[in-house]
Amino acid sequence: MPADSSLLDDLSRVALDVAQGVAAILEAGFGHARELVETKSSPTDMVSEVDRTAETYAGQRLAELRPEDGLLGEEGALRPSRSGVRWVLDPLDGTTNYLFGIPMWSVSIAAEIDTLPVAGVVIDPSRHETWQATSGRGATLNGQPCRVAQGRSSLSTALVATGFGYQRERRAWEADVVSRVLPEVRDIRRFGSAALDLCWVAGGRFDAYYEWGLNAWDLSAGRLLCEEAGGRVEITPGEIVVATTLELFDPLRDLLARSGAYDPPGLGG
């Protein structure tokens, strides 16, 4: 289904409206002890009542604004689409940071058509930053155009972000890969919010980012932001998302291959 200009306008407006509402809920709860913290895939993969409250709000708001659209949320929200549009939502990306009082978490929401993101918003309440992109219209940070750091770095001077999974054995393997990547780049950063990592590539703060096993809600909005900011984002062998400036994509992909990154153990993320 092609997206005309008026549809893109509406999807962008709704994405921002919903993301701002979720961000307000999260800001109100940040820094308070949580009473209902559970785990999902492992003892370190946490979810709290604030995740679920935020997702419930987002689902209800989307149903009001775009009742024919579908929804896929990290905490289980699922609604089929009758319009051809699907919303992909992570109400709290960086739950561990949020629960530990670390100001590195975000709200991520994207509208997809035929599984491709066409409008996306990532809000970083701690820094009062709103990242937004619409297909064919570029990417912005707080309303100002943003671009990847094209031409700034070679692989050896690149600042690279990554993330780790929740399973103990998987993390050990990922650390082994990082030990081979680290000597070949400027440095590695691991902050704990995939959506913000992708935004920071889009805004030129990072030169590149890679991570295994991202889900649609981790990736959709940030991917659109990176691509609209002039970057390249692909899912490579081994289910690794690689997001970089154009000139760094092939060198980083080759380095990851040499480092054994494309042969992950048969473990959940």
State pLDDT tens for residues 220-268.
Answer: 999 999 999 999 999 998 899 999 999 999 999 999 999 999 988 864 4
Q: What is the mean pLDDT of the chain?
A: 91
CA-to-CA distance for 223 and 243, rounded, in angstroms?
8
CA-to-CA distance for 25 and 102, rounded, in angstroms?
17
CA-to-CA distance for 187 and 162, rounded, in angstroms?
11
Q: Is the pLDDT of residue 45 over 50?
A: no
pLDDT computed for residue 1 by the predictor: 52
- Say which CATH class 5-145 falls into: alpha beta
- Taken in order 191, 197, 199, 200, the sign of the CA dihedral is positive
pLDDT computed for residue 170 by the predictor: 87
Residue percentage of the chain with pLDDT more than 90? 78
Encode pLDDT of 154-203 as tens digits. Answer: 999 999 999 998 888 889 999 999 999 999 999 999 999 999 999 999 99
CA-to-CA distance for 185 and 235, rounded, in angstroms?
21
- Say which CATH class 155-258 falls into: alpha beta
CA trace torsion 40, 41, 46, 47 (10° rounding):
-30
pLDDT computed for residue 266 by the predictor: 67
pLDDT computed for residue 50 by the predictor: 79
Integer CA distances (angstroms), 111 to 10, 76, 120, 249, in order: 10, 17, 6, 26
More confident residue, 36 or 160: 160
- Residue ranges covered by each domain of the chain: 5-145, 155-258
Q: Is the pTM of this model over 0.85?
A: yes
Please, are residues 71 and 83 in contact by the beta-carbon 8 Å criterion? no
Confidence of residue 125 (pLDDT cuts 50, 70, 90): very high
Encode pLDDT of 206-218 as tens digits. Answer: 999 999 989 999 9
pLDDT computed for residue 76 by the predictor: 78
